[in-house]
């Protein structure tokens, strides 16, 4: 019991001690908390004071800015008011000026009316008549100035174009090495003696009948010594007949069976020459993908001549010239070269088909698979249809160059004289022409005009009209230069 009480007392004592300690700790904590609270309140007050000071400074700065802006606005308002007052004053001045101008205009209108009346009285013309007269005179002056300007520009353009064209053509001609002597196809076969004529005719004419029936040509045996003439429009048939007759003459045995044998051999040889000539030509020029039938027709041109010029050689030359000029112009030369080679293809069959060789050649090319560009170049190379592409013009130019160069063609004296006479007669038919002279083998015509009837501008128009008439009425190779000469001579005598 005593132990229990003792333990209870000790326990109570400990509890009271613990409570006293806890109370002390709580008191200390409260004091510390009060201290921290006071310190926080002081710090917060300091921060609030600092923020308030900063806000007051910023507000003061903004207030000063607003005051400055307000002063500027007031100044602008004053300036606007002053400008408004100046504008009102200017408007008043403009009103007075307008009134003055209106009065001045009315005075000027009256003065102009009076002046117009006086001028009409002096000139004996109304205003409309005077206006028409002035417009007419100005129109004449303008027309003359325009004509002079056009003439000068045409001269400059022609000079530049001629210069470039001459350069291109000269380069093409220099690069095209071709013979200057034209080839001719002979139709006269020489005989060793006149006795051979009888053997060619044969008994009752059986040899000559067989020969003509096989070859399709006419064998003319006349009084020409030691020669016979082969006549046919087909150059290939004429060549076969010539070879057949030469073989018969060298063999000496002339009879129908032998004639047939020699004819077959000659025919095979000529057909082989035609094929080889066509193939070699296309190979040398680099013209590919061409129809075999067209190659064979092209080879027939080897035995065709035009004005004494071999047509195949002429076609090769035109192809080279057209291709070279296309290169000088920066174009692809294949089309121009192909068109130049085939431009005279119609001459191989023009004795069999109606129409010009240009249209025949175009139709033949179209039928044998040539493109529309090539066919149009063939059809237009003599101007029968209008040229539309550069290749058309190049083929025309190359054809003219090849035909017009010295020695390319021969012409009979009769046709040459007729062409010159027609050229001079055509020029003489124009009004104001005094004399016309064809010169340089018909390549130029010089025309003397009457100075009192044709002025300088009229000379330009006359030259153009004559050139156009020549183009429409005459067929000629190359080009013809038209020169109009006008001169005024004044003669006076000192006595």
Alpha carbon distance 141, 51 (integer Å):
93
The string of DSSP codes covering 313-326 is: HHHHHHHHHHHHHH
Q: Is the pLDDT of residue 51 over 80?
A: yes
| Same domain assignment for residues 236 and 357 | yes
Q: Is the pLDDT of residue 264 over 60?
A: yes
Q: Are 395 and 322 in contact (CB under 8 A)?
A: yes
Least reliable range by pLDDT among 92-96, 126-130, 421-425: 126-130
Q: Is residue 40 domain-resident?
A: no
| Same domain assignment for residues 271 and 373 | yes
Residue 167 pLDDT level (bands cut at 50, 70, 90): low
| Same domain assignment for residues 347 and 474 | no
| Same domain assignment for residues 244 and 292 | yes
Q: Is residue 452 domain-resident?
A: yes
Residue 412 pLDDT level (bands cut at 50, 70, 90): very low
Q: What does the pLDDT look like over 329-361, one tens digit per residue?
A: 888 888 888 988 988 888 888 777 788 888 898
Residue 181 pLDDT level (bands cut at 50, 70, 90): very low
Q: Is the pLDDT of residue 165 over 70?
A: no
Residue 168 pLDDT level (bands cut at 50, 70, 90): low
Q: Which of 431, 434, 429, 423 is nearest to 482 (CA)?
A: 423
| Same domain assignment for residues 225 and 169 | no
Q: Which of 377, 397, 373 is nearest to 387 (CA)?
A: 377
| Same domain assignment for residues 371 and 237 | yes
pLDDT at site 152: 74
The rounded mean pLDDT for the chain is: 81
pLDDT at site 122: 75
Locus of tokens 């009004």: 431
pLDDT at site 478: 61
Alpha carbon distance 236, 268 (integer Å):
12
Alpha carbon distance 384, 388 (integer Å):
12
Overall pTM surpassing 0.75 (yes/no)? no
Q: Are 375 and 362 in contact (CB under 8 A)?
A: yes
Alpha carbon distance 31, 110 (integer Å):
116
Which domain CATH number covers 454?
3.30.300.20
Among 112, 147, 175, where does a domain finish? 175
Residue 409 pLDDT level (bands cut at 50, 70, 90): low
Least reliable range by pLDDT among 9-13, 355-359, 446-450: 9-13
pLDDT at site 183: 40
Residue 241 pLDDT level (bands cut at 50, 70, 90): confident
Looking at per-residue confidence, does 333 or 415 come out higher?
Answer: 333
Looking at per-residue confidence, does 207 or 184 come out higher?
Answer: 207
| Same domain assignment for residues 371 and 454 | no
Q: Are 340 and 318 in contact (CB under 8 A)?
A: yes
pLDDT at site 184: 43
| Same domain assignment for residues 477 and 448 | yes
Q: Is the pLDDT of residue 385 over 80?
A: yes
Find the mean pLDDT for residues 160-182: 55
Q: What does the pLDDT look like over 95-150, one tens digit per residue?
A: 888 888 888 888 888 888 887 777 777 766 676 776 777 677 777 777 777 777 77
Residue range(s) defining the domain that contains residue 445: 413-485
Q: Is residue 393 domain-resident?
A: yes
- Strand pairing report for 433-439 and 309-310: unpaired
Q: Is residue 262 domain-resident?
A: yes
| Same domain assignment for residues 249 and 398 | yes
Q: Is the pLDDT of residue 226 over 80?
A: no
**Which range among 90-94, 129-133, 155-159 has the greatest average pLDDT?**
90-94
Find the mean pLDDT for residues 307-312: 76
The string of DSSP codes covering 39-86 is: HHHHHHHHHHHHHHHHHHHHHHHHHHHHHHHHHHHHHHHHHHHHHHHH
**Which range among 122-131, 191-200, 389-398 has the greatest average pLDDT?**
389-398
Cross-strand pairs, 230: 219
Q: Is residue 218 domain-resident?
A: yes
Q: Is the pLDDT of residue 323 over 80?
A: yes
Q: Is residue 256 domain-resident?
A: yes
Among 404, 438, 469, where does a domain finish? 404
| Same domain assignment for residues 205 and 168 | no
Q: What percent of the chain has pLDDT over 70?
A: 86
pLDDT at site 1: 63
Least reliable range by pLDDT among 64-78, 106-120, 426-440: 106-120
Q: Is residue 51 domain-resident?
A: no
Residue 179 pLDDT level (bands cut at 50, 70, 90): very low
Q: What percent of the chain has pLDDT over 90?
A: 1
Burial of 265 (0-12, 13-18, 19+ CB in 10 A): middle
Residue 164 pLDDT level (bands cut at 50, 70, 90): low
Among 404, 432, 467, where does a domain finish? 404
Q: Is residue 141 domain-resident?
A: yes
| Same domain assignment for residues 345 and 205 | yes
Which domain CATH number covers 222?
1.10.3210
pLDDT at site 177: 47
CA distances 459 to 150, 153, 447, 450, 482, Å, are 14, 17, 10, 10, 11
| Same domain assignment for residues 292 and 148 | no
pLDDT at site 208: 86
Domain count, the chain: 3
């Amino acid at each position: 019991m005593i132990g229990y009480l003792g333990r209870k007392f000790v326990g109570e004592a400990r509890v009271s001690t613990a409570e006293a300690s806890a109370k002390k700790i709580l008191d200390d904590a409260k004091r510390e908390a009060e201290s921290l609270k006071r310190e926080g309140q002081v710090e917060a007050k300091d921060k609030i004071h600092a923020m308030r000071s900063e806000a007051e400074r910023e507000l003061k700065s903004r207030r000063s800015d607003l005051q400055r802006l307000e002063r500027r606005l007031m100044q602008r308002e004053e300036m606007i008011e002053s400008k408004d007052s100046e504008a009102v004053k200017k408007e008043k001045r403009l009103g007075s000026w307008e009134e003055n101008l209106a009065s001045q205009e009315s005075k000027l209108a009256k003065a102009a009316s009076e002046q117009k009346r006086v001028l009409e009285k002096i000139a004996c013309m109304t205003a409309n008549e005077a206006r028409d007269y002035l417009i007419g005179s100005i129109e004449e002056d303008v027309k003359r100035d325009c004509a002079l300007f056009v003439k000068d520009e045409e001269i400059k353009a022609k000079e530049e174009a001629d210069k470039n064209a001459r350069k291109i053509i000269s380069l093409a001609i220099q690069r095209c090495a071709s013979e200057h002597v034209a080839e001719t196809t002979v139709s006269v076969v020489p005989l060793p003696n006149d006795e051979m004529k009888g053997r060619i005719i044969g008994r009752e004419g059986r040899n000559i009948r067989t020969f003509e029936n096989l070859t399709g040509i006419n064998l003319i045996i006349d009084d020409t010594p030691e020669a016979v003439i082969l006549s046919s429009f087909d150059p290939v048939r004429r060549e076969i007949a010539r070879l057949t007759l030469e073989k018969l003459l060298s063999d000496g045995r002339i009879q129908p069976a032998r004639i047939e044998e020699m004819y077959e051999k000659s025919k095979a040889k000529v057909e082989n020459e035609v094929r080889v000539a066509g193939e070699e030509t296309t190979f040398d020029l680099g013209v590919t993908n061409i129809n075999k039938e067209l190659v064979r027709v092209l080879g027939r041109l080897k035995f065709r001549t035009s004005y004494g010029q071999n047509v195949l050689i002429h076609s090769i030359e035109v192809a080279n010239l057209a291709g070279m000029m296309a290169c000088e112009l920066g174009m692809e030369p294949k089309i121009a070269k192909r068109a130049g080679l085939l431009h005279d293809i119609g001459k191989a069959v023009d004795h069999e088909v109606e129409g010009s060789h240009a249209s025949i050649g175009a139709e033949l090319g179209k039928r044998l698979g040539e493109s529309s560009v090539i066919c149009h170049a063939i059809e237009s190379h003599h101007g029968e249809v209008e040229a539309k592409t550069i290749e058309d013009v190049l083929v025309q130019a190359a054809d003219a160059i090849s035909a017009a160069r010295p020695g390319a063609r021969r012409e009979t004296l009769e046709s040459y004289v007729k062409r010159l006479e027609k050229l001079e007669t055509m020029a003489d038919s124009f009004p104001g022409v005094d004399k016309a002279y064809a010169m340089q083998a018909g390549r130029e015509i010089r025309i003397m005009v009457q100075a009192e009837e044709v002025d300088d501008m009229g000379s330009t128009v006359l030259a153009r009209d004559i050139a156009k008439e020549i183009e429409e009425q005459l067929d000629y190779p190359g080009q013809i230069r038209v020169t109009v000469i006008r001169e005024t001579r004044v003669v006076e005598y000192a006595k």
